[in-house]
Amino acid sequence: MTDSNGSDGSNGSSEAADAPKALATKGAKPHMGLLAAQADPAELQATVLTRRDAMFALAEDPSMPENARQAVRDLAALASPSKPGLEEMLMAWRPPRLMIAQPMTRSTAKPENAKNGDLFDTTGRLHAAPWTGTVIYIHEENINFKEGTKNPICSAPDAKLGSPFGECARCQYLPFGKQVRAKGEEQQITDCDNNIVAIMVPADLSNVYTVQFSKTSRKAGGALMQLAGAQRLVWAQSYQLSTEKKTNDSGMWWFFNVKPTGVNNPPHVAKLCEALYALYIAERKLMLHNHYSRPARAPQAAAEAEGQFASGAAALDAGLAGDAGGEEADLTTPVTPIATGGKPARTSHKPM
């Protein structure tokens, strides 16, 4: 499938292009973040709207079964910002996150009847395991949680450029397994984790979910990436997610397991997944453009804020109400096994 969201970078503004110059490696093919940073944001937004319209059009495709067409209508509505009560809000599509209930889970979305090891999502819905879903996209991310804190001190949604620490490849906190070391030198464990993130459609086609494979679940994410990557299209087949309990002298926690179903998706499901992929990738490129442009816009934003402050309280209030840099990613605190005594439970900073 060909994507045309400013892939040549010829329409990017100089402001957006200034921020990621250090990430452009001579002779290397530019990655998606760089291309998105150099693209015209108006064109990226227009592509999002075009892809969303294509989703609504798919609901009228006579080759789709009626139940699939209704699923398309529902998914298109979920991905659309044009909802009653949100007429004045410009919102990006953010699929809910599928999570494992852990002994230390603090999420307010966790259902009251969820038991440890159960699957639930950030809308508060409980899911039966094994959960069957189809991949439409997979990417990596780096997230740095300083020990003892609940919020990340730096995050890189593409594992390339962190905010605020900058280029991941040159960062002193680069995750274990990603560090470049001379022969004989050992890699060091840091507070930063490299996660595999899969965007998946459940078997009932009811929604689109983000599944974050972090720490001890990262091995399952790697397996899913290999299984889906071996297909001609990553959405050719579906996969089952289940959870497994791990206990040692330091604690207990649950992690993801992945198994292939070995069953090819019917043509209408593949067509739906392709349309969802097209919309998701358009939204992601717009998000990456905003993420990469943030450092370049920082001096301008600071100057504007100072001017608003000098203009008085009314101007300041108006400035605070505005969106100066795009919506931050919804990051869930990585699982920390509950301690039962002895040393803290080992978490997999080392990608397995």
- CA-CA distance, 327 to 36, in Å (whole number)? 17
pLDDT at 5: 41
Encoded tokens for 220 = 């399952």
- CA-CA distance, 137 to 209, in Å (whole number)? 11
- CA-CA distance, 132 to 121, in Å (whole number)? 14
Asked if the peptide bond before residue 30 counts as cis, ω within 30 degrees of 0, the response is no
pLDDT at 146: 84
- Looking at the chain, the number of H-run helices and the number of E-run strands are 7, 12
Domain segments of the chain as ranges:
14-339
Q: What is the pLDDT along the chain (352 residues), one digit of tens a residue?
A: 434 343 333 333 333 344 455 465 555 678 899 999 999 999 999 999 999 999 999 999 999 999 999 999 999 888 887 777 777 766 677 899 999 999 988 889 999 999 999 999 999 999 999 999 999 999 999 999 887 777 899 999 999 999 999 999 999 999 998 988 878 888 888 999 999 999 999 999 999 999 999 999 999 999 999 999 999 999 999 999 999 999 988 789 999 999 999 999 999 999 999 999 999 999 999 999 999 987 655 444 444 444 433 433 333 333 333 333 333 333 343 333 333 333 333 443 444 4
Specify the pTM. 0.77
CA 193: distance to chain centroid? 14
Amino acid letter, residue 80: S
The H-or-E segment that residue 307 falls in is helix 267-310
Block residue for tokens 């101007």: 315
- CA-CA distance, 210 to 26, in Å (whole number)? 33
Strands 154-156 and 97-100: unpaired
For every residue of 111-130, DSSP letters joined together read -TTPPTT-EEETTS-EE-SS
Strands 166-167 and 126-127: unpaired
- CA-CA distance, 104 to 335, in Å (whole number)? 8
Residues 6+ apart with CB under 8 A from 16: 37, 38, 39, 41, 289, 292, 293, 296
- CA-CA distance, 52 to 280, in Å (whole number)? 9
pLDDT at 25: 56
CA distances from 74 to 125, 208, 346 (A): 17, 11, 42
- CA-CA distance, 115 to 265, in Å (whole number)? 31
3-class DSSP state for residue 144? strand
Helix axes 313-321, 267-310, angle to 10 degrees: 170
